[in-house]
Amino acid sequence: MKYVINLRELTKRFGNITAVDKLTLQVPPHKIFGLLGPNGSGKSTTIRMICGILKPTSGEGKVLGYDIEKESEKIKKSIGYMSQKFSLYEDLTVIENLNFYASVYGLNKKETKEKIKQIVELMGLLGREKQMVFALSGGLKQRLALGCAILHSPKLLILDEPTSGVDPLSRRMFWDIIKSLANDGMSILVTTHYMEEAEICDLTAFIFNGKLMAFGTPSDIKKANNLESLEDVFIKYVRMMNNE
């Protein structure tokens, strides 16, 4: 497969608001792809269309080779999704949460046992299997949520602001895991407001008012703008959009 995400002129309007405006981009496999933009720029709307849960007003898109309108069920089964809200059951233990998601994904007994063992180790949750989720720190909850999102070994993992509200050490550990998943062949789409995280991505896209402003590697985008950091690029675009 040439592209895991292939969008052509993808557009979503809500009444007279154009949340996503003729978005065209292609993301090759095995990359960490960062979707960047200020609040309300259209990132979540784009992600909802990519996941097949929101129909575009016009344009088209393929995700893992599947059409986002006609084959949304196949997309839903092949992707992993984690948002800042974590979707964990607070009154269940770590292992009960993992078992629950394994059954949702239809894993058999043997797969469940093997996969959970692997994930508990990878996420640094060894020894905490029987702890209740409500008693875990934000960073541990975040890694457990990530573990639940990858139980079915998705080819594409979508992370919507996954590190909001967790401390710097937890963020560092989280990104080390993301990098190792990408090294093992997973493709990753991540949105973040932290530009130092965006610098880690292999590819980034900046969207403002639903429109694509830049797409490329962090170093190409910095070079094209003659700036030293993605934070400077981000600020430049915000000022341009505000006509400052």
**Between residue 45 and residue 84, which ones bind ligand ATP under the rule CB under 6 A?**
45
Q: What is the number of helices (H) and of strands (E) in the chain?
A: 9, 10
**Residue 34 has which token pair?**
């960062």
Q: Minimum distance from CB of 154 to ligand ATP (Å)?
A: 21
Alpha-carbon span 43 to 64, nearest angstrom: 19
* Collapsed DSSP state (helix, strand, coil) of residue 15: coil
Tell whether residue 40 is a contact of ligand ATP (CB under 6 A): yes
Q: Sign of the C-alpha dihedral, residues 181, 182, 185, 188?
A: positive
State which residue, 35 or 151, has the beta carbon closest to ligand ATP.
35
3-state secondary structure 151-162: CCCCCEEEEECC
> Nearest approach, Cβ of 216 to ligand ATP (angstroms)?
20
Residues numbered 160-179 forming contacts with ligand ATP, rule: CB under 6 A: none
Q: Which is nearer to ligand ATP, 49 or 116 (CB)?
A: 49
Choose, by CB under 6 A, the member of 10, 19, 102, 166 that binds ligand ATP. 19
Q: Of the listed pieces 22-30, 42-50, 97-105, 171-179, which binds ligand ATP according to CB under 6 A? A: 42-50
Binding of ligand ATP by 192 (CB under 6 A) = no
Q: In angstroms, give the least distance from the CB of 168 to ligand ATP.
A: 21
* Count of residues interacting with ligand ATP (CB under 6 A): 11
123: left (phi over 0), alpha (psi -120 to 50) or beta: alpha
Residue 37, interface with ligand ATP (CB under 6 A)? yes
Q: For helices 109-122 and 138-149, give the axis angle rounded to 10 degrees.
A: 140
